Amino acid sequence: MIVQDQIPSDGVAANGTEQGTRYRWRICALLLAATTINYIDRQVLGVLAPELQRTFAWSESQYGYIVTAFQAAYAIGLVSAGAIIDRLGTRIGYALAVAVWSLAAMSHALAGSVAGFAIARFALGLGEAGNFPAALKTVAEWFPRRERALATGIFNSGSNIGAIVAPLTVPIVAVTFGWQAAFLITGVLSVTWIVVWLSVYRSADDHPGVSPRELALIRSDPAESAVRVRWSHLLRHRQTWAFLMAKLLTDPIWWFFLFWLPKFFHSEHGLSLLGLGAPLVAIYVMADAGSIAGGWIAGRFIKRGWSVNRARKTAMLICGLAVVPVVFAANVTSLWLAVGLVGLAAAGHQGWSANVFTLPSDMFPRRTVASVVGIGGFGGAVGGMCIATFTGLLLETTGSYVPVFIMAGAAYLLALFIVHLLVPRLEPARIA
């Protein structure tokens, strides 16, 4: 009697031999690389903020306005980025976004005033708005629903890798070659990524590197209509508002970490430009682990038979609770205790984001994912504008970071409560 080996749906036999292909994870690696470059570009200003503030004599509120310019453009860009990427497709749309934000990042080297930096940041925000809509649409196109949280967590960890690379390299480049050089270093990386992306990326249905077995796995979810959906129609659905509110309330906390932590450690703990590296790296290493763990936890719960609703929200609750202790970060005198509290909060945020970013693909058909992500990202950017202006004015008036850290500790549990009220079962939106 002949007994056939049973082969799981991911193409791996019981004896560990891969029968299909895993090309989708190569695509995920490209998303990881793009997100890493994206965050290096946006993080350069934050790392150099204490030095640039001293060089150009910026006030706290002026720095806040420069950050707000980025957030405003990011919000504007997200209004259209998702729809543009849905129309152009991920291959061309993603390459265009990377090209725009890379040119904008390098243009900072030409700035010499508050207005000049604000213009450069505005252009950077417009380009960078395309990253997450494009990446999440790619995940929806290349991964079955049960793998999307993990894939999202992996590429989203690029935000932490970029935030790790920046404080390690930017101070050295700035001290050695001048601050202008720090804004130019990622140009080569961006060009390389665009060339590779355009060379290797195709639809999974047409890609020669994808086996029939892997394609069957990718397309294992129910078929969907290809009819386009207007934003006005998407906004009628409470699923859209659940994602929008989750981003509006929690994205500003991450923006605060990116753009204000170097200044916080400089002013509260006396760190120099070169001294910022170790604390920031520690924080973003923790955040990187949180990003992957957040997606893994939800996926693990689903594999154990939990519903998507229960798995996602439980993972979001765990991550939200991890952020709560950050309320004490501004009051502790120990540098490394402050680093630990902020690092735990950053890990919680990134684990939260891995699950929140998966909500659109949980509740909406693939053809609308980028648009829904754009709507939510718009809300997050608007929140980022508010916190940037608020923090600048708060510090100029009181010099205290305490209110911002209290807001950070409360934001995630409030957001989860609102999400649960709007979508108690994460039921799919009824899109015609």
- From residue 60, alpha-carbon distances to 41, 117, 174 in Å are 22, 15, 22
Of 28, 40, 67, give the one whose Cα is nearest residue 381.
67
Residue 184 lies in a domain: yes
Cβ neighbours of residue 92 closer than 8 Å, sequence gap 6 or more: none
- Give the domain extent around 386: 23-214+231-422
Residues in a beta bridge with 12: 18
Say if 79 falls within a structural domain.
Answer: yes
- 8 Å CB contact between 30 and 193: yes
Judge whether 16 lies within some domain: no
Residue 241 CA to residue 228 CA, distance in Å, equals 19
In a domain, 7, yes or no: no
Residue 7 binned pLDDT confidence (cut-offs 50, 70, 90): very low
| pLDDT averaged over every residue in the chain | 88
| Residue 15: burial class (beta carbons within 10 Å; 0-12, 13-18, 19+) | exposed
Indicate whether 5 belongs to any domain.
no
What distance in Å separates the CA atoms of residue 202 and residue 166, rounded to the nearest whole number? 31
Q: Does 100 reside within a domain?
A: yes
Tokens of 200: 């290797």
Which residue, among 178, 209, 211, 295, has the nearest Cα to 9 in the 3D structure?
211
Answer whether residue 366 shows pLDDT above 80.
no
Question: Cβ(124)–Cβ(41) under 8 Å?
Answer: yes
CA quadruple 136, 139, 140, 141: dihedral sign: positive
* pTM, entire model: 0.79
pLDDT, tens only, 31-70 = 999 999 998 998 899 999 998 988 999 999 999 999 999 9
Would you say residue 35 lies in a domain?
A: yes
| Structural domain count, the chain | 1
Task: Render pLDDT for 134-180 as a digit per residue (tens, 0 to 9).
Answer: 998 899 888 888 888 788 878 878 877 888 898 899 999 998 999 99
Q: Is position 415 within any domain?
A: yes
CB 423 within 8 A of CB 238: yes
